[in-house]
Structure 1
Amino acid sequence: MTEDPRTGAARPEHQVRIGQGPRNRRELMVKVLWIGVWLIFLSSPVKDLVSGRHTTGATAGGAIGLAAFVTAYLTLVFRNIGRPWSPRVVVSLLAVLVVLAPLLTYTLGAAWIGLFVYLSVACGATLPVRAAFAAIPAATVAMYLVGLRWHEKPDETLLLVPLIGFAMVGVGQLISTTVELRKARATVAELAANEERLRLARDLHDLLGHSLSLITLKSELAGRMLPGHPEKAAQQVADIEQVSRQALVDVREAVTGYRRPRIAVEIAGTQVALTAAGVTAEVPAEPDLAGVAEEAESALAWALREAVTNVVRHSGADRCAVRLERRQTLDGPVLELSVEDNGSGGSGKGPGNGLTGLTERLEKAGGTLEAGRVKHGFRLVARVPTAPSGDVGSGA
């Protein structure tokens, strides 16, 4: 992770998300380039092959061996990131590297000693920690012994091979931790949703249990009174109507409170959604909602949810900044929500149903919505009125 100089927020590198495979062709190319750039250590074997110092048979054999080595290495390391190979495939590919690295170096010369670097990387990236801690020193010792065959003392490579191997062990542990963190985050989200369902079930039970019991009791009373006391039965029916109407009001309030989004909850969800999508998220802290009506807060929360959904699904952005600020306008004080990304802004065919619905929702709350492309991406601004600062404390 590095720091974005414009926002100061933590910014992931432009490689594929840690612990996950590429989602599109661009991420696939980035991943290929990132792995391929480390093939620079193969320059010495390639120069040795084209130098003409070997016989035709040795040159052909070396070329075939090098091609097999690189194929096995790339297949092993590239595919083992995200969704790993089975242990049997990993061992088979590692066996190819273990055989070819010392064989090619021993038979063709010291220029091939860099193959042990790739052997060490493969061991660190694919083997379990305990096995890697044994295999990497073994690869280092093998490189040293083969180097003696050519009277070579590979001082720098002797240090590089274990260091880069153990570094890959650390990277592997980071990937495993990240994958586990994603699973834990998904579990927490599921538990939160289940808890909210249980809350709604409890609320509906508490609201309807007493009302329905009372309606049942009064219905029975009305049925018994109807033949001889129609006036009293009519009173019981009137009571039933009143209880039913009140129960309906209580259920509507409970469901409305359940469905109404909150800014604080949506901000937390924004951080999770953008991070999971590989987008750098800059989100505000706990918002100050003094003087903001519930309907206005709900409208802003819907606007934030829709904007973040568009960023994740349509924009192709890798950075998104969310800001929530109080401003003074000609129409009075407002709470302004701004969501800006560096993506393409979608299809560009005009506002969709989501933005149209947001505009209508904000207008009902007395607010406004602005959305459109800016110089470096797309920006959505939603505003809702707030009470003047002097009226907040007085309850105006």
Structure 2
Amino acid sequence: MQTPAPARHPDHTGEDGPDGRWTTYPGAPVDTKRQLLVKLAWTSVWALYLAYPVQDLTTGQHTPAASVAGAVALAVFLAAYLSLVVIRNRPGLPQPTRYLPLGLMAAIAVTTSYALGESWLTLFTYTSVCAAIVLPGRFGFLGVLASTGLFAVVGLTSHADAETLIAIGLPCVLAGLAMLGMQRLVATMRELREARAAVAHLAASEERLRLARDLHDLLGHSLSLIAIKSELTGRLMDAGKAEDARTQVADIEQVARQSLADVRSAVSGFRRPTLPVELAAARTALAASQIELDADPRLAEDRPGLGAEESGVLAWALREAVTNVVRHGAGATRCAVHLDETWEEDGRYAVLEIVDNGPGPGKSGAGNGLSGLSERLELVGGRLQTGPANRGKGFRLRATVPLRPGPSGQ
């Protein structure tokens, strides 16, 4: 479920705030009151099946006192049903508190079914579903069976007809079992997200270790050489050998400059994004926003003629475009990413194109993100094009960088 987002702007600025887009999905933690209200609203949709008890109250077959008591019981039942959403998102509450609404729902279902008739047997379906949600582990399955068994006992002892028992009994057990499956799916999704986060953390740690090793290898020998030559320079100066000392100082300067260049190269390689990494990050970000990714498989392959600098700039373009889709593509459901080649008058170019089916660019001009991306592309001889996608719907970002000639000059 996606909430309405601000009008599409062709760039992103700032962090996600209370007015930004956010997405809820099954099992997603609730962080704000707004998210809690959305979950309550979606849960309230299933209250439509309470139409049978409501209809029973409006037929006039009960006394006024019984009708009032039934309406109060139904209101309490609905409040207990919705309170489970709040309780499930308050992990600090004691365990008994979590089970009180479920027990209250079961008691109301039994009492009203005996007192008001077979139309109220529908309440057992809600009890079965809530038992599957609230009770932990295998107790959820036992709760579904217990709710269904209680329904059968009450239905038979209250002399409900066979058609009603079948029409309500099947949803009672099947809805409970379906919710158990959903709970398993949610738990699996949560474990996958945690595993993905752990893998990303390990990858970042490994990259930091690689950088530390590279810096040690680059600077260890150079600094040792500088220390030795500095000591030798001091001895030569003490001995009055100025020319020899000047030669050693020149060597120290050369070693220091080379070390500085090596460090800059190592850090630059550490910070430069790559297309496969950015594609994986894009897939995660878009999936979290419930946006389908249509990605060109060639993005993960090495492309002849595409240098490291040009590839890094295209990776920046992919990151910027996906960030725009996630933050400003209100209503977007699909994002296509394709890498191709084109021939122009001055040579061969690689073209990265990202298109979504959102509302398209707004009336505002390009922000800092797209301006910075345009500058990066210009530094490598590329260019940036942005605008509406096909038929004026969606947003298109097209980044072009030159391909280097091959060994044969092609």
Indicate whether the TM-score tops 0.5: yes
Q: Is the 8 A contact 1:35 1:78 kept in 2?
A: no
Query: Does residue 150 of structure 1 match 2:150?
Result: no
Query: Does residue 301 of structure 1 match 2:308?
Result: no
Residue 226 of structure 1: which of 218, 237, 260 is its match?
237
Q: Which residue of 2 aligns with 1:265?
A: 277
Residue 199 of structure 1: which of 210, 215, 240 is its match?
210
Residues 324 and 90 (structure 1 numbering): CA distance in 2 closer, same or farther, change over 3 Å? same
Q: Which residue of 2 aligns with 1:96?
A: 104
What are the superposed Cα offsets for residues 175-208 of structure 1, whole Å, 9 maximum, x if unpaired?
1111121122112111111111111111111100
Q: Is the 8 A contact 1:110 1:147 kept in 2?
A: yes
TM-score normalised according to structure 2 size: 0.85
Q: Which residue of 1 aligns with 2:371?
A: 356
Query: Does residue 384 of structure 1 match 2:396?
Result: no
What are the superposed Cα offsets for residues 16-49 of structure 1, whole Å, 9 maximum, x if unpaired?
3232156889977764554333223211100110
Query: Highest relative contact order (Cα 8 Å, sep 6+), 1 or 2?
Result: 2
Q: Which residue of 1 aligns with 2:355?
A: 340
Query: Which moves more between the two structures, 58-67 or 131-140?
Result: 131-140
Residue 141 of structure 2: which of 133, 137, 148 is its match?
133
Residue 112 of structure 1: which of 104, 113, 120 is its match?
120
Shift of 1:302: 1.0
Secondary structure of 1:392's partner? coil
Query: Which moves more between the two structures, 30-39 or 168-177?
Result: 30-39
Shift of 1:90: 1.7
What are the superposed Cα offsets for residues 108-162 of structure 1, whole Å, 9 maximum, x if unpaired?
0001111000000101122113111211111111111111233213023222211
Equivalent-residue separation in structure 2 for 1:94 and 1:145 (angstroms): 18
What stretches of structure 2 of length at least 5 have no aligned partner? Answer: 1-21
Q: What is the letter of the counterpart of residue 125 of structure 2?
A: V
Q: What is the letter of the counterpart of residue 165 of structure 1?
A: G
Shift of 1:221: 0.7
Q: What is the letter of the counterpart of residue 398 of structure 2?
A: V
Query: Which moves more between the two structures, 62-71 or 343-352?
Result: 343-352
Query: Which moves more between the two structures, 226-235 or 296-305?
Result: 226-235
How many percent of aligned residue pairs carry the same amino acid?
47
What stretches of structure 1 of length at least 5 have no aligned partner? Answer: 1-13
Q: Which residue of 1 aligns with 2:335?
A: 320
Residue 191 of structure 2: which of 172, 177, 180 is its match?
180
Q: Which residue of 2 aligns with 1:4?
A: none
Query: Does residue 274 of structure 1 match 2:286?
Result: yes
Equivalent-residue separation in structure 2 for 1:315 and 1:385 (angstroms): 29
Equivalent-residue separation in structure 2 for 1:341 and 1:17 (angstroms): 21
Q: Which residue of 1 aligns with 2:7?
A: none
Q: Which residue of 2 aligns with 1:63?
A: 71
Q: Is the 8 A contact 2:386 2:398 kept in 1?
A: yes
Equivalent-residue separation in structure 2 for 1:274 and 1:84 (angstroms): 32
Residues 231 and 252 (structure 1 numbering): CA distance in 2 closer, same or farther, change over 3 Å? same
Residue 265 of structure 2: which of 228, 253, 261 is its match?
253
Q: Which residue of 2 aligns with 1:5?
A: none
Residue-pair matches, total? 380
Q: What is the letter of the counterpart of residue 342 of structure 1?
A: N
Q: Is the 8 A contact 2:87 2:98 kept in 1?
A: no
Q: Which residue of 1 aligns with 2:4?
A: none
Secondary structure of 1:114's partner? helix
TM-score normalised according to structure 1 size: 0.88
Shift of 1:343: 2.9
